Amino acid sequence: MRVLYLLITLYILIGCQSNKSEKFTVKLKGSESMFGSFKALKNDFESIQDSIKLELEGGGSKTALPSVANGLADIGLSSYPFDVNDILGKGHGVDEMIVAYDGIIIINNESNPIDQLTNEQITGIYDGTYTDWGQIGGRPGIIKPIIRDENSGTQKFFREHFRLDTIPDYALVAEKNNEIVAKVNADPNSIGYIGFAYVTLNVKDVKVPSTKSIDDSMFIYPSTRTISEGHYPLKRSLRIYFKSDKNDYVKAFLSYIRSNRGKDILDEQGLIVASSMY
């Protein structure tokens, strides 16, 4: 039914155009962690119709809700939940939909012998308690933590999960996941964190304590299974924001996302499609 609605909507839009070469634009803005997946959705959506063009921009999750509320974007992408009522007040007219889940993956250099870290060690690395790998059983060498910028939903989730009130000034800041991967790949003493969809063979995933572990003694790798079953602790929701009185072009794209075709692409991107999409 959703595919049928999509096709009917697109047919109406195309039929109503006074200029057949005209394209209607839907603007999306926000999460860098969702950028790659929505780029794949954009490419496929534009390949099945020539009436609606999608403009996709990053900027970080922090920009998602304000961009929609202020009319700068039709759809906001966020890897972190906003308290919409608290931020915009009652009668804000903005809807929210969880589209998928993924996990935040801690990565280090392939040559680093450390393949697992306790919660205490991760916190210590990022609050400055541990400054040398030798302090936590690794080869001696200055630890070089990499973080995301302040607009990042990944950064906000990570800081809250590990209760990081402060992060040392020497931590390197990266705006995108691929920057973190490149830095970790280039420096054996670096450590960072990225979205699950960005997992690459160029760096090494670090095991973390399972949610089933009482004393940090059971370590697990991130995987589609461990994330979907809730055993991997750094699971998060990926969501979109849009105006309640959205136009037909936005409706068409949202219907496409919820179609089997759209969900298949999210799955191919390494995301776990949310039950609300079915």
Residue 238 belongs to what H/E stretch?
A: strand 235-243
The verdict on domain 103-228 having CATH code 3.40.190.10 is: yes
Rounded distance between C-alpha atoms, residue 178 and residue 3, angstroms: 33
pLDDT at 216: 77
- pLDDT, one tens digit per residue, over 66-113 is 999 999 999 999 999 999 999 998 889 999 999 999 999 999 999 999
Rounded distance between C-alpha atoms, residue 256 and residue 276, angstroms: 14
119 in Cβ contact with 162 (< 8 Å): yes
pLDDT at 9: 53
105 in Cβ contact with 234 (< 8 Å): yes
In 47-138, where do the E strands start and end? 52-59, 75-78, 94-108
Domain 2-101+236-277 fold: D-Maltodextrin-Binding Protein; domain 2 (3.40.190)
- In which residue ranges of the chain is CATH 3.40.190.10 found? 2-101+236-277, 103-228
How far is the CA of 11 from the CAs of 5, 6, 41, 47, in angstroms?
Answer: 10, 9, 20, 15
248 in Cβ contact with 12 (< 8 Å): yes
As given in the structure block, the two tokens for residue 276 are 């609300």
Question: In the structure, what pLDDT confidence band is assigned to residue 4 with cuts at 50, 70 and 90?
Answer: very low
Beta-bridge partners for 204 = 108
